[in-house]
Amino acid sequence: MIIIEAENLSISRANNNVVNNLSFQVKQGEVFGLLGGNGAGKSTTLLAFLGLLKASEGAARINGIEVDFDTASARKAIAYLPESANLYPHLSARENINYFLSLAKIQRSAADIDAALDQVSLASKARDQYLSSYSKGMRQKVAIAVAILRQAPILFLDEPTSGLDPVAIDEFNKLISNLAANGATVLMVTHDVYGACQVADRIGLLKDGHLVGNFIAPAGKRISVDEVHHAFASEA
């Protein structure tokens, strides 16, 4: 089942074509990495799927819904994790979660919240500490826990491993893989070749708004870092 689809998608910003005739599909339970350098059009593509930028040509679709025509319905299925999660540093993990769930008019029990925090491997002793004491990786775990508790079937990740140390990157990638194995569909935009290859089932290489490469993980294996890095460097 196709969950996320770009069909001949073009997007202009300030009269410049930032995304040009972009097409890809992401099936349920897949992790798709949109890889590229600064200015490639990655975040612009993500903003189009969130309904924050309109297509100048083509379409961005979520669950078959064209985002430009029914943005509210498309967004209901999405949890979005920006590069820096917008959480409140003067609140604890539990307090942040309760607050953001209340904004979405969702109620979850304390046991449900702890189960989600267990799933993202946030230490029990940290859950009542203010987020001002958290590392970026810990804050991202809280943001993912909110997405889990919202039961959002689609995750959009914008440079999710930027600023994380290697251990935190591995933990984050395992978490995303587990969510996908349980049916979540993930669109990740990144410039991190290693991170994308560790977690993505497929990678699309973007340059100057054009899709210039496609990579698919062999059965039971990961996409070759060397192969993607070579293609990335060749297009730089």
CATH of the domain at 173: 3.40.50.300
E strand or H helix at 50: none
- Do residues 145 and 157 both lie within one domain? no
- Do residues 138 and 157 both lie within one domain? no
Q: What is the dihedral of CA 192, 24, 67, 8, to 10 degrees?
A: 120
Question: pLDDT over 70 for what percent of the chain?
Answer: 100
Of 187 and 170, the structure prediction assigns the larger pLDDT to 187
Chain centroid to Cα 88, Å, comes to: 20
Of 42 and 164, the structure prediction assigns the larger pLDDT to 42
What is d(CA 113, CA 193) in angstroms, rounded to the nearest whole number? 33
Asked, for residue 158, whether it belongs to a domain, the answer is yes
Name the domain boundary from 108, 128, 152. 152
Asked, for residue 83, whether it belongs to a domain, the answer is no
39 pLDDT above the threshold of 80: yes
Q: In this structure, which amino acid lies at residue 187?
A: L
Residue 97, exposed/middle/buried by CB under 10 A (0-12, 13-18, 19+)? Answer: buried
208 pLDDT above the threshold of 80: yes
For residue 92, give every residue at least 6 positions away whose Cβ sits within 8 Å of its Cβ, in sequence order, or none: 127, 128, 129, 130, 131
- Do residues 229 and 175 both lie within one domain? yes
- The β-bridge partners of 10 are 57
- Do residues 140 and 208 both lie within one domain? no
**Hey, which of 147-151, 199-203, 217-221 has the most confident mean pLDDT?**
199-203
Reduce the DSSP state of residue 75 to 3 states and report it.
helix
Asked, for residue 94, whether it belongs to a domain, the answer is yes
pLDDT of res. 17? 87
Asked, for residue 111, whether it belongs to a domain, the answer is yes
pLDDT of res. 175? 85
Judge whether 62 and 23 are in contact, CB under 8 Å.
Answer: no
For residue 137, give every residue at least 6 positions away whose Cβ sits within 8 Å of its Cβ, in sequence order, or none: 164, 165, 168, 171, 172
- Do residues 31 and 138 both lie within one domain? no
- The β-bridge partners of 228 are none
Question: pLDDT over 90 for what percent of the chain?
Answer: 63
**Domain limits for position 32:** 2-77+153-235
E strand or H helix at 165: none
Summarize pLDDT for 78-105 with one digit per residue, the tens: 988 887 778 999 999 999 999 999 988 8
pLDDT of res. 218? 92
For 76, the token pair is 């209901």
pTM over 0.75: yes
Summarize pLDDT for 46-85 with one digit per residue, the tens: 999 999 999 999 999 999 999 999 999 999 899 888 877 7
Reduce the DSSP state of residue 217 to 3 states and report it.
coil
pLDDT of res. 219? 87
pLDDT of res. 34? 95
Chain centroid to Cα 134, Å, comes to: 21
pLDDT of res. 236? 61
Mean pLDDT over each residue of the chain, to the nearest integer: 91
3 pLDDT above the threshold of 70: yes
Asked, for residue 84, whether it belongs to a domain, the answer is no
pLDDT of res. 102? 93
